[in-house]
Amino acid sequence: MTLLKIIKNNLFIQNFVTRLVLLNPIYLELGLAKYKSVKKAMLITANDGTSGSYLEFGVMTGNSFNFAMLVSKKLEKVFGKMDCEFIGFDSFQGFGEIKKNDVHPFYNDETFSVSEKKVLSNIKKKSKNQKYRIVKGFFKDTLENKTTIDYKIDKARVILIDCDLQEPTRLALEFVRPSIQEGTVIVFDDYNFFKGNRKKGEYAAFKEFKDKYPEISFRRVFDSGYNGRAFIACNLD
């Protein structure tokens, strides 16, 4: 009897598998997907010898930030020392002022407010003597009319954009522009939300950025979890 026949004749098997899948909490599943994306981006850049900083916009609980530091140490055993500094940006109080075009039922301050003290303590504990910085504050205060040059950041190796909304994503992209080099990987964690609306969210901000700076070419390299997408800077004129 083939496997298909067994499943067709014993529906309890598919019922059991369904239950197993549902046991995995949705937020844990989303977190695991982001871990995989960070790992892919770090591996791609390590394999290509793309050195520079890891920049994360939207640290929240620090899960992906800590994971990036852990992955880097593992990869260095294979590819050698990369001397990567990890820099995270977050207010830990949510978004602050939300523009009309960014209004969304899930993206609000209550959902994304966390204990700053607890998160920073955990990051320090997990850093394992790696170089890192956390820039605290709303993006309009820490990023607007500033660039990586103002923070003494040279080149970016991996950029994780977990900003959810168009305006903070726009600010993050403008900020990192001088640090983008050939081989920089940008991971957008929430690229496909807002019901696929091309004029909203991270998608709209990235399109605006590419239209504004056509001298920087990007190539799609992989999808990130359920709703994200990653691109590599492949040509800078």
> Does 140 fall in a domain?
yes
CA angle at 165 for the pair 169 and 214, rounded to the nearest 5°: 40
171-219 tens-digit pLDDT: 999 999 999 999 999 999 999 988 888 999 999 999 999 999 999 999 9
DSSP state of 131: -
> Does 108 fall in a domain?
yes
Does residue 74 register a pLDDT over 80? yes
Q: Residue 102's pLDDT is what?
A: 77
Does residue 1 register a pLDDT over 60? no
Q: Quote the pTM value.
A: 0.89
Q: Of 112, 171, 178, 117, which Cα lies nearest the Cα of 142?
A: 171
> Does 183 fall in a domain?
yes
> Does 123 fall in a domain?
yes
Domain carrying residue 30: 26-236
Q: How many residues does the chain have?
A: 237
pLDDT band at 98 (very low <50, low <70, confident <90, very high): confident
> Does 19 fall in a domain?
no
> Does 5 fall in a domain?
no
Structural domains of the chain, count:
1
Cβ neighbors of 28 (< 8 A, separation 6 or more) are none
2-20 tens-digit pLDDT: 876 776 677 777 777 677 6
Buried b / exposed e over 174-198, threshold 16 CB at 10 Å, is bbbeebbbebbbbbbbbbbbbeeee
User: What is the arithmetic mean of pLDDT over 132-161?
Assistant: 97
> Does 222 fall in a domain?
yes
The domain that holds 171 is classified in CATH as 3.40.50.150
Q: Of 51, 53, 55, which Cα lies nearest the Cα of 80?
A: 51
> In angstroms, rounded to a whole number, what is the distance separating the alpha carbons of residues 99 and 110?
16
8-59 tens-digit pLDDT: 677 777 777 677 666 666 666 777 888 999 999 999 999 999 999 999 999 9
> Does 20 fall in a domain?
no
Q: Residue 24's pLDDT is what?
A: 66
